[in-house]
Amino acid sequence: ADRTVLVTGGAGYIGSHACKALAQAGYAPVTFDNLSYGHQWAVKWGPLVIGDILDRASLDAAIDRYRPSAVMHFAACAYVGESVADPGKYFRNNVCGSLNIIEAMRDHGIRSIVFSSTCATYGIPESLPITEETPQRPINPYGASKLMVERILQDFGTAHRINSIALRYFNAAGADPENEIGEDHDPETHLIPLALDACSGKRSSVTLFGSNYDTDDGTCVRDYIHVSDLADAHVKALQALERSTGSSAYNLGNGWGFSVRQVIDTVESVTRRRVPVAIGARRAGDPPALISDATRAREELLWKPRISSLSDIVQTAWAWHERQQLDPMRGHFARPVAGSWR
Ligand code: UDP
């Protein structure tokens, strides 16, 4: 049971890819998820406990049953726009929910946690690329909620010797290269899956949120990082926590920026289809450009993105998109249902 890892949000997009990476590295992931955004079909590499991080008793019960030696904490609300409209939802789920998990760790003597943080904690940076020393001044409640949890982790490190690594993701994209799992949000708000829907006729068009930013082509610039490379970084962070103590944070990105228009162009060339585009207003809470410097993760975690070209990233997302058209249940009935592990 020494290699058992409690994965909150393990039924979600990044969490499910992390479960696969954990299993392949010889760990035993146990997913804890309320299935509000996650999917039972995405839990393929270990048991699923259906529970809510806001419910301390169900967290305690899962820990008593599976006795994890570490936690990976993905469960969170993660829509920037929604966080501006409904901040209470973000502070409750993301901050109170995380505090429950961290206090449960303290009370059960679990000393290691890898936490999903975000480049949204940096707000509008003064300079690019963004290093871990760039000041964190979030411009939306989503980023603020994640920054609060980073602070809680530091203070629990000091007071209770809980060791933590916060991973600040740039734009997660793509799908498992073996096409076993992939992105499936409801509602879908992310650029690449929306563009794939638009080029395949599932949606009439994709709207560019702002074309007058102070960037080369006027659209926002983001650093897209493959979800399996993020998953691999989590395993490496867990291994780092096995040999060292303290609280630290790492940026995870490829270090290249692509504008919204460049992403659309890449989707067109990968799929060989046209993406119908409309020009719309800016979206509240969006910084103009976010590009990572992930040197620290490369040097200290020995992490190296493997699927780093944008067209390769989009190719994996397209393969998953095609599979969903053919197999809308994503093999849900083709293999034992994860819930039968319970
Ligand atoms: N975007 C867009 N139209 C859409 C969805 C997103 O122009 O329908 C832009 C968005 O403004 C941002 C970029 O695409 O600059 C990536 O957005 P996404 O929601 O995928 O990720 P985020 O940056 O919010 O994490």
Mean pLDDT of 26-40: 98
Provide long-range contacts, Cβ within 8 A and 24+ apart, for 267-272. Answer: 267/192, 267/195, 267/196, 267/199, 267/314, 267/318, 268/199, 269/311, 270/311, 270/314, 270/315, 270/318, 271/196, 271/199, 271/200, 271/318
Look at residue 25 and tell me whether its pLDDT is greater than 60: yes
Question: How far is it, in rounded angstroms, from Cα 138 to Cα 122?
Answer: 5
| pLDDT at residue 290 in the model | 98
Give φ, ψ of 301 to 5 degrees. Answer: -95, -5
**In a mutational test of the pocket of ligand 1, which residue from 191, 224, 225, 282 has the highest number of ligand atoms less than 8 Å from its CB?**
191
Q: Confidence class of residue 285 from pLDDT cuts 50, 70 and 90?
A: confident
Q: What DSSP letter does each residue of 70-124 carry, written as one string?
A: EEEE------HHHHHH-HHHHIIIIIIHHHHHHHHHHHHT--EEEEEEEGGGG-S
The atom number, within ligand 1, closest to the CA of 206 reads 8
Give φ, ψ of 327 to 5 degrees. Answer: -140, 75
Given 13, 27, 142, 213, the catalytic residue = 142
Nearest Cα residue to atom 20 of ligand 1: 190
The atom number, within ligand 1, closest to the CA of 78 reads 25
CA of 211 to the centre of ligand 1 (A): 12
Averaged confidence pLDDT in the chain: 95
Protein residues with CB under 6 Å of any ligand 1 atom: 80, 171, 189-191, 194, 206-209, 220, 222, 260, 283, 286
CA of 207 to the centre of ligand 1 (A): 10
Nearest Cα residue to atom 12 of ligand 1: 220
Nearest Cα residue to atom 1 of ligand 1: 191
Q: What percent of the chain has pLDDT above 90? A: 93
Q: What are the angstrom distances between the C-alpha of 299 and each of 118, 140, 252, 295, 304? A: 20, 30, 12, 6, 9
| ipTM of this complex | 0.98
| pLDDT at residue 2 in the model | 76
Higher pLDDT pick, 278 / 330: 278
Look at residue 332 and tell me whether its pLDDT is greater than 60: no
Known active-site residue 142: yes
Q: Which domains does the chain have, with CATH numbers?
A: 4-333 (3.40.50.720)
Look at residue 4 and give its three-state secondary structure. Answer: strand
Q: Measuring CA to CA, which residue among 108, 168, 208 is closest to residue 293?
A: 168
CA dihedral 272, 278, 282, 288 (to 10 degrees): 30
Q: What percent of the chain has pLDDT above 70? A: 95
**In a mutational test of the pocket of ligand 1, which residue from 188, 196, 222 has the highest number of ligand atoms less than 8 Å from its CB?**
222
Look at residue 163 and give its three-state secondary structure. Answer: strand
| pLDDT at residue 325 in the model | 86
| pLDDT at residue 342 in the model | 33
CA of 83 to the centre of ligand 1 (A): 15
Look at residue 168 and tell me whether its pLDDT is greater than 60: yes
Look at residue 238 and tell me whether its pLDDT is greater than 90: yes
Q: Confidence class of residue 341 from pLDDT cuts 50, 70 and 90?
A: very low
Q: What is the largest CA-CA distance in the chain?
A: 56
Look at residue 67 and give its three-state secondary structure. Answer: coil
Look at residue 331 and tell me whether its pLDDT is greater than 90: no
CA of 190 to the centre of ligand 1 (A): 6
Indicate the range of 17-31, 37-51, 109-123, 324-338 predicted with least confidence: 324-338
Question: How far is it, in rounded angstroms, from Cα 122 to Cα 141?
Answer: 12
| pLDDT at residue 298 in the model | 98
**In a mutational test of the pocket of ligand 1, which residue from 82, 216, 283 has the highest number of ligand atoms less than 8 Å from its CB?**
283
Nearest Cα residue to atom 25 of ligand 1: 171
